[in-house]
Chain A
Amino acid sequence: MLALASVFSMNAQIATVVSKTPILKGVETDMNSPVLSPDGTKLLFCSANYSNLRMLDFATGEVTVVAKDDRSGFDALFTPDSREIYFVTERDGEGGLKMRQLKKYNIAKGETKALSEEMRLVRRPAVSDKGFSVNTDKKSLKKGSVGIAVRAEDSRLIITRNGVDHEYSPVEAYAGYLWPTLSPDRTKVAFVAAGKGVYVTDLEGNILAHLDNRRYEAPSWYGNDFIITQLTTDDGHQLHSSQLVINRADGSASQALTAPESMTMSPAADIDNNRIIYATVDGLLYEMKININK
């Protein structure tokens, strides 16, 4: 902890925290894994076990249950136009084997539509306003066109450009790549190489930067030049601390936004509204307002 503190103190202050405000306090519980819609008007969140995918409309304050299914909140994602939500559900099949299915939720209509049959494995899809593609244990499913998208499957980074999947393995990571995310300008990708920290690549898988803290998780772009990460410590059993850190996307500087003992995690950043939505270990959501220092 002292080492972390000293690293942060060596850097000039990147941002100033303006405020922290609870979201849906006393209204909802067990709120985790927040995901902001690209237009910033909606927020997805789910239970800690990834079931019970819910959506908050910031304009009305209304919370809609998108899906109660198992896994529905694991890597749920909005289409770029913020009109639809893609997610994968899961249920126990015969003999306890998991069966998964890709679904789409139309926000305006409040309708859910199955996009695949139930299969043993349905990966995270690549989505656009006009279609999707997804890998399964049987075959790849595609509908419409997907422009630029990013996914991670085990130790493969799959970057879709012009509807074509390109696989990269820019860094060795036995346990795989996690939390892949596309920058708002859709020119860079950030992901976690398990146990090695966050890497930033271009759309051709070339490494541009390494946010060199092997315990960084859950990167979220704050504009195109900053990445918010979750930094936890543990004793191999329980979490000892969890905090949010803002990093320059080139890896040149970082700054803690919350204290280690705050147990803050799962950032969803939105530079247009100067905010970061995040969760705490006890399943509460907060909105943090920040200003980037000039």
Chain B
Amino acid sequence: MKKILLLSAMLLSAAAIFATNPSSLKVYINPGHGGYDSDDRVITVYPFTSGDTMTFAESKSNLFKGLALRQILWDSWPGITVNMSRVQNRTEDDLPLESIGRAATNWGADIFFSIHSNATGTTSRVNFPLMLYRGWDEGKGAAHGEPDEAVPGSMQIGKILAPILMTNQSTVWTNSYQVRGDWSFYTAWSYKSGLGVLRRLGIPGMLSEGSFHDYIPELYRLLNREFCWQEGWHFSKAVEQYFEVPDAQKPQVGHVSGLLIDERVPRDLRDGFKAFQNDLLDPIMGCTVELLTADKSSVVQTYVTDELFNGFYFFKNVAPGNYVVKASIPTHFDVESAIQVKANEITYCTMKMKKQRLTPPEVVSYSPIWKEGDDPLLCNTPLVFNFNWDMDQESTQNAFSIEPAVEGEFSWEDFNYRMVFRPKDRYDVSTNYHVTISTDAEHAGGMKMTAPFTMDFFTTDRNFMEIIGQSIKDGGTIHFHDAAIEFRFDKLPNVTPILKQVSVVDSHGNAVQLNNRGLKYSKTGDPYGYFRIPFVKDLTVGEQYTLTLSPEIADKDGITLQSGLSLNFTAVDAGADKPESQLETMDDPVTLYAYDEENSANVASNKVARNTAKKLFGDACGVFTYTFTGDEGGEILWARSEATEKGVTHENRLGVHVNGDLSNNELYIQLASDNDTKFAKVCDLDFLGWKYLDVPLTMLEGENAYKVKGVKVIQVASQMGKSGEIMLDNINLIGEDGVEAVAADVADFSIYPNPASEYLIANAVVWVEDIELLNMNGAVVAKAQGNVLNVSEIPSGAYLARVNVAGKKVTQKVIIKH
């Protein structure tokens, strides 16, 4: 019995020694990529330039990690056998992937590591370890009738290594680690292609994407060889765990690792790279870090942080015990931290350093600089203060005051060396402002200003951009064809964003397409600012639209509108057939109309032309172009060579088709009898596009017959009135009621009820095709197929119902009454 026990004990002992003797291990290391070739992953970061091999190349940091791991294994367990796929970084070291797996298998390795770092391949930035073994994700192999891992043990290595890598506190992790099967992770080249280096590997192994090198703060750390050494050390810990190395055979030294960062100065995120947590603070470069004995009597090791924007330091192979880490650099106050180093562990000690700010803060420059007699400032002028130190935001903002009080927002630039105040809306007009930054303002070191800072400024008399003209008015109409949106302003608008600041929808909420390429706008030197955007297609007659104008529309100084606009308007056909007789067709305006200098004033130039493209009726319309010499007092008469045939009296009205010029000037028709001349005002020219205008003639005297004798424009003082171009087409004669009815010539024709409030119905013994409702200006305001028209939304008033029946058009006056 005693013999048996002794034998058992010997066997157990032998097994334990054999199983855990790391010196008998064979470890194969593949530093991924190689040779700065096309399959390397190179990222050029400041201060390096393209082509500089000193910048980040994954092949290089992978090699640093691999060489470190080999040395650590050699140092830890003399006799251990370590082989590497490469120890240099030349093109010929970038081996075909199957060769690597084959070399490791042929060599008889017990374990295989392919060492890499990761990149997202996207714009998102993360940092975590990703372990890839050959096979399916854990638990997914069963669905394929296969084990999860192609070579047993490979998944286990990843599961051991990943959490060890995550113990690194001298980095910033954004997510937890992942351990994945490469057949699940990669799907290229169909079924079970996976990672090339693992494809023909006959031993337990995996590929480690230890961290993400496109997370730029991590990239800067990977440029530090000691940081790579640290990752190599983590691999050696995984070897220990995987092969169950007993404590007695584990290394008896520890290591110290950490980051040195400014306590509050933000990191310079060049080109806007992303950073998280401690990586948002400025890494301290060129800092001397000393590992001191616990009583600080002697320096054990010294490390100087590199100039590569990582603030990383590392002390290798430190005997277990208590120490003090001390960091010193002239720009910052020294920091110290007591630590305990344990055998075979890394002690992490990241320290934040306070910048030395030894003089009080002050405003060294500011803007705007204004003094009495200077031009007033725009009402949106930001106030900019540059300090000699990076400032404490909270105390500085609290120390700021402005009288009269203005609500505003602060922003900070240049790492808190610059504070900017912007009024939320704008300053008041023509107002003196007094600004103070009191001595309560502190720099980041906690020292206050020794004297308050003050400044004054005076604002202009304008703090909103003003709309001085618009082609579309709320509740108005617009001719459906060749329609455009035009707004005019007191200053030139900033048209860069204008296409995103104007929108139109129909009554169903559908966006109406604007012809962006047709955008026209004012130029420097124009008397007023404007933009004009045509519609892509003709509008639908009778349809109601809503135009929205953003309140962010601004002039070139950033002065915005006081508020946005939302305007409802209806498309009409100003050129619809009218029942009235025609006094003037404007088919031959050049012959009939001529500039009447004697009855004009302050005219610089003028022209009468014939236009066949934009006419509403007949062969052409008349185009009357004018420029006055000044901003006011101008008037121009184009006289007709002979009076029109038909005459009108005070009982009649004129129906005039006008294409306006948005000049705000006034348009008149000259009417002359045998012994009298009158001017009937047609409209204020405050619109663009065609309109049909109903002009009363009550100014005419007695029963005299007046005939059309001329066209006149009188200048109204405004920014827009100096020049313009109007068009005129048919001028009609309207009876005393404004629109004359056309008698029905259809059997049993009737329109009822009259007055109507809900529906208007047309009946006849023959088919009624459609029914239209015209206002007294002749514009179609509603239309329906068939014989029933809904008039419930039509405003009360007198209208003309035009019914298309049996190929004839029958027109009848109706009353809508609600």
- Interface of A with B (CB < 8 Å)? 32-33, 48-51, 70-71, 74-75, 90, 92-98, 100, 120-124, 152, 154, 174-176, 178-179, 192, 194-196, 214-215, 217-218, 230, 232, 234-239, 263, 265, 281-283
Chain B residue with Cβ nearest A214: B92
Do B93 and A232 touch (CB < 8 A)? no
* Whole-angstrom distance between the Cβ of A76 and the nearest chain B Cβ: 12
Do A195 and B110 touch (CB < 8 A)? no
Give complex CA distance A214, B99 in Å.
11
Q: Which of B26, B107, B244 contacts A95 (CB 8 A)?
A: B244
Contact partners of B97 in chain A: CB under 8 A:
232, 234, 236, 239
Contact partners of B91 in chain A: CB under 8 A:
214
Do A49 and B201 touch (CB < 8 A)? yes
Q: Which of A98, A179, A263 contacts B110 (CB 8 A)?
A: A98
DSSP majority for the A interface? loop
Do B99 and A49 touch (CB < 8 A)? no
Do A95 and B243 touch (CB < 8 A)? yes
Chain A residue with Cβ nearest B20: A95
* Whole-angstrom distance between the Cβ of B213 and the nearest chain A Cβ: 13
Do A178 and B99 touch (CB < 8 A)? yes
Given contacts A97-B19, A239-B196, contact A74 B99 (CB under 8 A): no
Interface residues on B, range: 35 or more
* Whole-angstrom distance between the Cβ of A143 and the nearest chain B Cβ: 21
Give complex CA distance A50, B94 in Å.
24
Top 9 A-B pairs, shortest CB-CB distance? A95-B19, A94-B19, A50-B202, A195-B92, A236-B33, A236-B39, A121-B108, A239-B196, A195-B95
Given contacts A49-B151, A237-B195, A281-B189, contact A96 B242 (CB under 8 A): yes
* Whole-angstrom distance between the Cβ of B386 and the nearest chain A Cβ: 48
**Chain B residues numbered 1-45 whose CB sits less than 8 Å from any CB in chain A:** 15, 18-21, 24-26, 32-33, 39-41
Beyond contacts A94-B19, A178-B99, A232-B196: 5 other A-B pairs, Cβ-Cβ < 8 A, are A94-B18, A95-B18, A96-B243, A120-B108, A176-B103
Do B32 and A236 touch (CB < 8 A)? yes
* Whole-angstrom distance between the Cβ of B98 and the nearest chain A Cβ: 6
Q: List 19 A-B contacts (CB under 8 A).
A: A32-B200, A49-B150, A92-B153, A95-B244, A96-B111, A97-B19, A124-B106, A175-B84, A175-B86, A178-B103, A178-B106, A195-B99, A234-B96, A236-B58, A237-B197, A238-B188, A265-B98, A281-B189, A282-B193
* Whole-angstrom distance between the Cβ of A45 and the nearest chain B Cβ: 13
Do B134 and A49 touch (CB < 8 A)? yes
* Whole-angstrom distance between the Cβ of A177 and the nearest chain B Cβ: 9
Contact partners of A94 in chain B: CB under 8 A:
15, 18-19
Is B510 positioned at the interface, with any CB of A under 8 Å from its CB?
no
Q: Which of B102, B190, B192 contacts A178 (CB 8 A)?
A: B102
* Whole-angstrom distance between the Cβ of A139 and the nearest chain B Cβ: 16
- Interface of B with A (CB < 8 Å)? 15, 18-21, 24-26, 32-33, 39-41, 58, 84-88, 91-100, 102-103, 105-111, 116, 134, 150-153, 186, 188-197, 199-204, 207, 242-244
Given contacts A97-B25, A239-B193, contact A174 B93 (CB under 8 A): yes
Give complex CA distance A239, B134 in Å.
14
Do B196 and A192 touch (CB < 8 A)? no
Contact partners of A71 in chain B: CB under 8 A:
105, 202
Give complex CA distance A75, B200 in Å.
12
Chain B residue with Cβ nearest A192: B99
Contact partners of A124 in chain B: CB under 8 A:
106
Do A282 and B191 touch (CB < 8 A)? yes
Contact partners of B193 in chain A: CB under 8 A:
238-239, 281-282
Do A239 and B189 touch (CB < 8 A)? yes
Contact partners of B96 in chain A: CB under 8 A:
195, 215, 217, 232, 234
Contact partners of A192 in chain B: CB under 8 A:
99
Contact partners of B15 in chain A: CB under 8 A:
94
Q: Which of A95, A100, A282 contacts B108 (CB 8 A)?
A: A100
Contact partners of A196 in chain B: CB under 8 A:
92
Do B196 and A237 touch (CB < 8 A)? yes
Q: Which of A48, A176, A239 contacts B106 (CB 8 A)?
A: A176
Given contacts A175-B103, A282-B189, contact A98 B196 (CB under 8 A): no
Contact partners of A282 in chain B: CB under 8 A:
189-193
Do A48 and B150 touch (CB < 8 A)? yes
Q: Which of B39, B41, B153 contacts A234 (CB 8 A)?
A: B39
* Whole-angstrom distance between the Cβ of A268 and the nearest chain B Cβ: 15
Contact partners of B39 in chain A: CB under 8 A:
234-236
Give complex CA distance A33, B202 in Å.
13
Q: Which of B18, B26, B108, B195 contacts A238 (CB 8 A)?
A: B195
* Whole-angstrom distance between the Cβ of B214 and the nearest chain A Cβ: 15
Q: Which of A122, A174, A176, A281 contacts B107 (CB 8 A)?
A: A176
Give complex CA distance A218, B594 in Å.
98
Contact partners of A237 in chain B: CB under 8 A:
32, 116, 186, 195-197, 207
Given contacts A232-B96, A232-B98, A237-B195, contact A74 B202 (CB under 8 A): yes
Q: Which of A51, A175, A230 contacts B85 (CB 8 A)?
A: A175
Given contacts A192-B99, A282-B192, contact A75 B106 (CB under 8 A): yes
Q: Which of B94, B105, B202 contacts A195 (CB 8 A)?
A: B94
Do A49 and B88 touch (CB < 8 A)? no
Give complex CA distance A93, B88 in Å.
33
Do B153 and A96 touch (CB < 8 A)? yes
Do A96 and B188 touch (CB < 8 A)? no
Q: Which of B40, B189, B194, B202 contacts A263 (CB 8 A)?
A: B189
Contact partners of A123 in chain B: CB under 8 A:
108
Give complex CA distance A215, B109 in Å.
23
* Whole-angstrom distance between the Cβ of A134 and the nearest chain B Cβ: 13
* Whole-angstrom distance between the Cβ of A80 and the nearest chain B Cβ: 22
* Whole-angstrom distance between the Cβ of B475 and the nearest chain A Cβ: 65
Interface-centre pick from A33, A51, A95 (highest chain B CB count, 10 A): A95
Chain A residue with Cβ nearest B85: A175
* Whole-angstrom distance between the Cβ of B245 and the nearest chain A Cβ: 9
* Whole-angstrom distance between the Cβ of B520 and the nearest chain A Cβ: 50
Contact partners of B153 in chain A: CB under 8 A:
92, 96
Interface-centre pick from A75, A93, A237 (highest chain B CB count, 10 A): A237
Do B189 and A238 touch (CB < 8 A)? yes
Chain A residue with Cβ nearest B111: A96
Do B202 and A49 touch (CB < 8 A)? yes
Contact partners of A100 in chain B: CB under 8 A:
108
Give complex CA distance A71, B152 in Å.
13
Contact partners of B202 in chain A: CB under 8 A:
49-51, 70-71, 74, 90
Contact partners of B88 in chain A: CB under 8 A:
174
Contact partners of A214 in chain B: CB under 8 A:
91-92
Chain B residue with Cβ nearest A70: B202
Contact partners of A175 in chain B: CB under 8 A:
84-86, 95, 99-100, 103
Give complex CA distance A96, B98 in Å.
24
* Whole-angstrom distance between the Cβ of B27 and the nearest chain A Cβ: 11
Contact partners of B111 in chain A: CB under 8 A:
96
* Whole-angstrom distance between the Cβ of A240 and the nearest chain B Cβ: 9
Contact partners of B86 in chain A: CB under 8 A:
174-175, 195
* Whole-angstrom distance between the Cβ of B103 and the nearest chain A Cβ: 5
Contact partners of B192 in chain A: CB under 8 A:
48, 282-283
Do B110 and A96 touch (CB < 8 A)? yes
Do A194 and B199 touch (CB < 8 A)? no
Contact partners of B20 in chain A: CB under 8 A:
95
Chain A residue with Cβ nearest B244: A95
* Whole-angstrom distance between the Cβ of A161 and the nearest chain B Cβ: 22
Contact partners of A218 in chain B: CB under 8 A:
98
Give complex CA distance A217, B99 in Å.
7
Q: Which of A92, A154, A217 contacts B98 (CB 8 A)?
A: A217
Contact partners of A33 in chain B: CB under 8 A:
200
Chain A residue with Cβ nearest B151: A49
